[in-house]
Amino acid sequence: MDCPICDYYERNKQKGKTTNMNTLTSGTKVSRQEAVDLIRNSKGKFITVTFTKKSDGTERVMNCRLGVKKDLKGTGRKIDTSKFIGVWDRTKHDYRVINIAGIKYLTIQGKEYAVDDSVITPTTVATTPSRAKINAPSTGLQYSVAEGATLQDLKTEVRSYIQQGWKPIGGLAIGVSDDVVSYNYKPRYLQAMTKE
């Protein structure tokens, strides 16, 4: 295998050791959406992802990367980018998909992350305010939606709103646009804001 983590896991498995990827505790805990963002923003670098395959429920450790265009003709199968991430598998030397709902762990540039569904993605906002304000005359309440291309953009935007007296209301919303040709998922992070 070409993947050091996979090699380590397989060597220990063959020696009868009880090393289990599920016991990873050293990684930073992230929400599933943050894990997806980390993968999608890996900029073509190799990453290692441990996930449960949707087809048969088995656990898979894959060393892969995004952005490989070799042999793409644009005529292959289309994937639902809200459920899967299309990648190039370094070991299989072929295109594969990662089941987003099954992601457990990932390693990007030596940093380990463990997906924990109890971690809540922060509700914060982006750099260029959309400022689509709506005034509610009967209450004097103003309404606006802050948005960002990344969670960091959204955090920055929400902070900007808060400094101007706005308050977040409700939870984070994610709007999705996708480019099925390059498997490029483009989320827009949104946060409703109010001000009296």
- Amino acid 181: pLDDT: 47
For residues 25 and 75, state if they share a domain: yes
Q: Pull the structure tokens for residue 20.
A: 């289990």
Q: What angle do CA 125, 132, 145 make, to 5 degrees?
A: 30
For residues 86 and 149, state if they share a domain: no
Percent pLDDT > 90 in the chain is 11
Q: Name the pLDDT band for 76 (thresholds 50, 70, 90).
A: low
For residues 111 and 138, state if they share a domain: no
CA pair distance 44, 67, nearest whole angstrom? 5
DSSP state of 120: P
Q: Give me the number of domains the chain comprises.
A: 2
Least confidently predicted of 3-7, 50-54, 129-133, 160-164:
129-133
For residues 34 and 89, state if they share a domain: yes
CA pair distance 64, 48, nearest whole angstrom? 6
CA pair distance 38, 10, nearest whole angstrom? 26
Instruction: Say whether 75 sits in a helix, a strand or coil.
Output: coil
For helices 151-163 and 32-40, what crossing angle results, to 10°?
120
Please determine, for residue 25, whether its predicted confidence score (pLDDT) is greater than 50. no
* pTM for the structure as a whole: 0.50
- The residue range of the domain holding 174 is 134-195
For residues 152 and 55, state if they share a domain: no
User: What are 123-133's pLDDT values in tens digits?
Assistant: 433 333 444 44
